[in-house]
Amino acid sequence: MKKLSITVMAIAMVATIGGNEAKAQNQEIQKKVQQYAPFTLKTDMEKLTPQERELVGIFIDIAKVMDDLFWEQSFGTENRKKLREIKDPAIKNYAEIHYGAWDRLDAEKPFVPGYGAKPAGANFYPTDMTKAEFDKLDDPMKTSQYTILRRNAKGKIDVIPYHKAYEKQLARVDELLDKAINLAEDEGLRKYLEVRREALKTDDYYESDMVWMDMKKSRLDFVFGPIENYEDGLFGYKTAYEAFVLVKDEKWSEDLARFTQMLPELQKNLPCDPKYKKEVPGTDSDLNVYDVIYYAGDCNAGSKTIAINLPNDERVHLAKGTRRLQLKNAMEAKFNTIMLPIANLMISKDQLKNIKFDAFFSNVCYHEVAHGLGIKNTISGKGNVRQALQNQYSAWEEAKADICGLYIVQSLIEKKEITNITIEDAYVTFIAGILRSVRFGATEAHGIANMMCFNYMQDHGAFKRDKDGRYVIDVKKMRTALEGWAALVIKTEGDGDYEVARKYAAKNGVVRPDLAKDLKAIEKANIPIDIVYEQGKKVLGLKEKKEKKVTEPQAVKDNSVRF
């Protein structure tokens, strides 16, 4: 009797603990969902022709199929159906943001009850397949970017090309593309859609990538198909479906093209020793600005992509280079929800007026342009900078692009080419931008570059703290520090002395204690870590054809650093 009651008590206790645990877990997930700030993806639809507006609708329909395909590749359609049965709205919501049961921004930790670790090969391979079994498999297509592996009834592994595995979904895409091709007014866009349509049927994307490179004039762009290979954590072979529906920002794009033409002149005026600026930078960069109006699949899972550099095919790089697309409204989303609150905490109240999106976006765009400035080959006979600096190269190259990007912005403001921001705006926003980007640490190239710059600026009096501990930027000293830091970075690249570069980065590419304190304060302030998108035809003012309301929260991926 006694024994029994103890057992009953024990069961009751376990049940209570279980209940409390579930409640605590639920609260934790709710908090996590709140870390994603909602943002509506829009653009000026008025500037589009009626045909273009109709095309946008079709592109969104295709993007939704890409989204379904990504779910299938990442998590499996059957598992997705089970997720829909979950009662807890917070868990359900979070699973939508992460396209599955694992937290993409927290080391893939499972958060849906009943799920263990994420299979490294996602749903591209049988989960019970061993590496030895893969190695033994005699099929040259097993490593293709466009095949999945499945265990058949006999227990053997079949290699299935995407166009067969996803035949049904792709047939729907084919129908939609047929309509789109008839509507496309821009010749480049029409040609691309035609060739891409064939590629989806054969899994040979080379020709469509080549044609996409030539698509220079179209106001609409549509990046879609199996593209990046991050989702295949097992071998990195398999590409995941995704889509971006994009509308070009013509003003910004034209300005970037025009200012890129000025690179040789900007190079001549670089604040560094003349012997490091003898190279003449190229002026044929393909860099354009877009608003994204729809994200789907891989690029929408977890952290959001804010810039595109495609295609990935090296054969296309050799023949035509790459196209770089800056996603302006996605950056604005992150600026409003993440950067502004951080600046509000950290920047002197008198200089908050200098925190501007246009300044932020200029710094980001001219960072890209500035990769073309400076020096590519060392002057010390050590070959090119990349070879000479080895694993230190990325940090220094990012440091160069950061500071020379700011130098370009400053020069263009002085030449009255940029008139919507002041130099003070550019400087204050630049420093606030560093506080934003080191939030998640300074371990990879961008983070180390940020810290080297920040510490140099601090040591040269570019900013100090006011009585509340807020940052005050000294415009005059910042200018001198900018010039000094640019000169030092370009010299380090031009000399190509690996040990000098390594020692400097090890000593200065770190978060110092006073900044670490600031980062703690930022952490406590519950500032969002990423965005979820409200997107679709309805928010664009397009007619919905009896489809479900798009309320699925969508979360963005920065290719290298978390925003």
Q: Tokens 């830091």 appear where?
A: 485
Nearer to Zn ion, 61 or 558 (CB): 558
In the complex, least distance from residue 446 CB atom to Zn ion, rounded to whole angstroms: 7
Alpha carbon of residue 125 to chain centroid? 26
Please, which residue, 163 or 386, has the CB nearer to Zn ion? 386
Pick 347 or 401: Cβ nearer Zn ion = 401
Dist. CA 213–CA 205, nearest whole Å? 12
Please state, in angstroms and rounded to a whole number, the distance separating the CA atoms of residues 362 and 90.
37
Count CB-CB contacts under 10 A for residue 548. Answer: 9
Shortest distance, position 312 Cβ to Zn ion, whole Å: 17
Please give the span between the terminal C-alpha atoms of the chain, in angstroms, as a whole number.
61
Least distance (Å) from Zn ion to the CB of residue 481? 21
> Among residues 232 and 402, whose Cβ is nearest to Zn ion?
402
Instruction: Give residue number: closest CB to Zn ion.
Output: 401
Token pair in block for residue 139: 């099929």
| Half-sphere exposure for 291 (CA within 13 Å, toward CB) | 20
Q: Determine if the peptide bond prior to 311 is cis (ω within 30°).
A: yes
Using the minimum distance from each CB to Zn ion, give the nearer residue, 239 or 437: 437
**Residue 372 Cβ vs Zn ion, minimum distance, rounded to whole Å:** 11
Nearer to Zn ion (CB atom), residue 420 or residue 560: 560
* Alpha-carbon gap, residue 83 to 92, rounded angstroms: 7
**287 or 401: CB nearest Zn ion:** 401
CB of 401 to Zn ion, least distance (A): 4
Instruction: Specify the residue, 240 or 501, whose C-beta has the smaller distance to Zn ion.
Output: 501
Q: Whole-number minimum distance, CB 373 to Zn ion, in Å?
A: 12
Segment (H or E) for 249: none
Nearer to Zn ion, 401 or 462 (CB): 401
- Distances, alpha carbon 434 to alpha carbons 378, 449, 451, 519, in Å: 28, 10, 8, 11
- Nearest residue (CB) to Zn ion, 372 versus 528: 372
Least Å from the CB of residue 462 to Zn ion: 21
Rounded to a whole number of angstroms, the minimum distance from the CB of residue 350 to Zn ion is 31
CB of 398 to Zn ion, least distance (A): 5
Task: Tell me the CA distances in angstroms from 43 to 50, 186, 225, 248, 352, one per residue in order.
Answer: 15, 20, 23, 10, 27
Asked if 448 and 505 touch (Cβ cutoff 8 Å), the reply is yes
Please say which residue, 123 or 363, places its beta carbon nearer to Zn ion.
Answer: 363
Q: Please tell me whether residue 139 adopts helix, strand or coil conformation.
A: coil
Picking from 330, 219, 199, 276, the residue whose alpha carbon sits closest to that of residue 489 is: 276
Please, which residue, 215 or 401, has the CB nearer to Zn ion? 401
Instruction: Identify the three-state secondary structure at position 278.
Output: coil
- Rounded to a whole number of angstroms, the minimum distance from the CB of residue 544 to Zn ion is 39
Which residues make Cβ contacts (< 8 Å) with residue 65, sequence separation at least 6?
A: 169, 170, 172, 173, 176
Closer CB to Zn ion, 308 or 401, in the complex: 401
Which C-beta is closer to Zn ion: that of 122 or that of 287?
A: 287
The number of beta carbons lying within 10 Å of the beta carbon of residue 482 is 25
Cα separation, 91 vs 25, in Å, equals 9
Sequence-ordered list of residues with C-beta below 8 angstroms from that of 137, at least 6 positions apart, any chain: 149, 157, 159
Report helix angle 206-213 to 187-202, nearest 10: 170
Write the CB contacts of 529 (distance below 8 Å, at least 6 apart in sequence).
35, 36, 105, 303, 338, 562
CA-CA distance, 190 to 188, in Å (whole number)? 6
The residues of the shown chain that bind Zn ion, judged by CB under 5 A, are: 401
CA-closest candidate to residue 90, choices 157, 27, 155, 42: 27
Identify each DSSP E strand in 162-254 by its residue range. Answer: 220-228, 240-248
Beta strands in 65-132 (DSSP E): 102-103, 109-110
